[in-house]
Amino acid sequence: MTAIIHCSFKGLNHVSLLLRLPAFNRHRSSYFSPLLRPPFSSASFSSSSPPQTQSSLGSEVGTIMEVFKAAWRPSVAERIAIRADQKSYTYTQLLSSACNISRLLSGTDIEVNNKGAGGHGNLGGARIGIVAKPSAEFVAGVLGTWLGGGVAVPLALSHPETELLHVMNDSDISFVLSTEDYSESMQSVATRCAAQFSLIPPVSNTFSSSNTTDESQIGEIDENPALIIYTSGTTGKPKGVVHTHKSISAQVKMLADAWEYTTNDQFLHCLPLHHVHGLFNALLAPLYAGASVEFMPKFSVRSIWQRWRESYPINGTKADDAITVFTGIDTRLSSNGSRATSCICPAARQLRLMMCGSSALPQPVMHEWETITGHCLLERYGMTEFVMAISNPLKGARKAGTVGKPFPGVQVRIAEDKNGGGTTGEGELCVKSPSLFKEYWKLPQVTKESFTDDGFFKTGDACRVDEDGYYVILGRTSADIMKVGGYKLSALEIESVLLQHPDIAECCVFGLPDKDYGEAVSAIVVLDSEQKRKLEESNSAFSLEYLCNWAKDKLAPYKLPTRLMVWDSLPRNAMGKVNKKELKRQLGNEK
Ligand SMILES: Nc1ncnc2c1ncn2[C@@H]1O[C@H](COP(=O)(O)OP(=O)(O)OP(=O)(O)O)[C@@H](O)[C@H]1O
């Protein structure tokens, strides 16, 4: 049996991929993912022949199609979608490969472990684990999973086997897709989870359109799950956050609109793909906009700066494949990175947009970055559960220490603490957005408890609004908000000040139990390597007294740290975040 699969990325010119799919639609209707839904009229397609109009799908077009209508641009099909390992892949090649993967999955007798996800397509909502290095194959794996009716579960490359097993067992993964480099370990993990395993076929450089006799049906799949992302576990055991095709569509459109992603953009991508920042901001939204994404295999300060320099070799010139957008500035890039490479600032200056988020951007880092690169970083706020909700503007004032204002279509509310009198303007941030997740996987009670009665998601982050209506994130109530002698303090605010000290390269502030004050402001600092060497040479130590003497003009007395630890590094996860809850637990127990 054969089927026509109508595929469309935003801007991919009326494409139907024609494939022979054994038994594809014998029992079930086929479907389209949000990034692969057909345009208003779809057309037969081959790489060599022009599209022909076909309008049989119009009546089934839903909200997703509105997204594509608004986002429509012609002639993206042969543009570069992905660059990786010195190879380029067009949108057509990527989609062709996704269709192959869908066929591969559909042709396999997948036993859907615990259907729970809500079934559609051949895979009926089966969870497909994807463990692949950042590559065209990873993208094709996700799209192919959606095309076949599965739920993609991107798995962390950095996770030790026990954590991988937890996530795979928890999400009842039926099938693991992997690239060669992880083949051996993943095969054994898959076996232990009773899941099938396959290597993702390499995305080919040629497109073949073959054999078409039958047209598949399109079901309305918007509310069906598409993706499960596991939280990083900084506030407890990792939970599976279920996103639907509809929430993904809403989000990619929101981001592409707000930050004006276009077909002219080229993204340098060096973030993990099992986390929303790397997956949505730097991959799915750019692809939705018809942009190119270049994967850098590993986060490397030197290589990132080098790539910018190649993009703009001499001030005023621009390479064809010049990077235009970068998201993911963190302290590694701004401190040792920029100092070591400040001579190449003119190149960095010419990028269209530089963004950061996922954790607080300390003001000293923002200012230093602006001095060196000329970029006022765009900081935004997001969370696995709703992806991105609040952002500083693309055009207009970006305010240091704030995350800007809610995106159009996003509602936010601050739930003030009634016990605190409810007059401070500070409280828990609650979010309602079309990009909100559907549920925590297999945790109905936790899901219920994390929403207000009128459908706002309770973020667990403390927040206030400044005089210009910009939102200021004060931190996680569970880890960043300290209660010291009756005062409620934000660890993020104190960190931002401590980072201004010339000797401090990194720091982390949190409360440890204190019998007199409830909690004690405790700081771990990592010293700048040069300063550390000087201190060692002069046989002196970086003391609490010295730090507080310096900080007393900048912080109120009750905000000054009363405990100090000088460490060689901070324990960070793949996203560069410190798990404060775990640190508090360990250090609290040591006392
Ligand atoms: N711009 C920002 N400023 C301050 N904090 C931020 C910012 N962006 C994100 N965050 C923090 O990151 C959190 C969301 O991150 P994510 O969804 O990855 O969860 P996590 O904290 O890493 O893991 P877990 O949900 O398991 O605790 C937010 O709730 C907020 O505390």
Does residue 591 register a pLDDT over 80? no
**Nearest alpha carbon, ligand 1 atom 3:** 360
Residue to mutate, 163, 166, 167, 232, ligand 1, most ligand atoms under 8 Å from C-beta: 232
Q: Which of 45-59, 211-225, 230-244, 524-538 has the lowest mean pLDDT?
A: 45-59
- The CATH architecture to which 3-65+78-205 belongs is 3-Layer(aba) Sandwich (3.40)
Average pLDDT of the segment spanning 480-492 = 89
Confidence bin at 425 (pLDDT 50/70/90): confident
Q: What is the pLDDT of residue 177?
A: 95
What distance in Å separates the CA atoms of residue 211 and residue 231, rounded to the nearest whole number?
A: 43
Query: Given a cut of 90, is residue 443 above it in pLDDT?
Result: yes
CA nearest ligand 1 atom 7, residue: 359
Where are the domains positioned within the chain?
3-65+78-205, 481-590
| Ligand 1 centroid – CA 476 distance (Å) | 8
The Å distance, Cα 382 to ligand 1 centre, comes to 7
Q: Which residue CA neighbors atom 26 of ligand 1 most closely?
A: 233
Cα(235) to ligand 1 centroid in Å equals 10
pLDDT digits (tens, 9 = 90+) for 535-569: 889 888 899 999 999 999 999 899 999 999 999 99
Query: Between 439 and 205, whose confidence is greater?
Result: 439
The pTM score is 0.81
**Average pLDDT of the chain to the nearest whole number:** 80
How many whole angstroms separate alpha carbon 569 and alpha carbon 435? 36
**pLDDT score for 379:** 95
Residue 207 confidence class, pLDDT cut points 50, 70, 90:
low
- 459 CB within 6 A, ligand 1: yes
Q: Could you tell me the distance, in angstroms and rounded to a whole number, from the CA of residue 216 to the centre of ligand 1?
A: 41
ipTM, 2 decimals?
Answer: 0.95
Exposure on the CB side of residue 115, measured as CA atoms within 13 A = 7
Q: Is 284 in the pocket of ligand 1 (CB under 6 A)?
A: no
- Cβ atoms of 321 and 266 within 8 Å: the answer is yes
Q: What percentage of the chain exceeds 70 in pLDDT?
A: 77
Instruction: Work out the pLDDT band at 81, boundaries 50, 70, 90.
Output: very high
Longest dimension (CA), the chain: 81
Q: Does domain 481-590 have CATH number 3.30.413.10?
A: no
**Centre of ligand 1 from the C-alpha of residue 389, in Å:** 12
Which H, E and C letters describe 270-285, residue by residue? CCCCCCHHHHHHHHHH
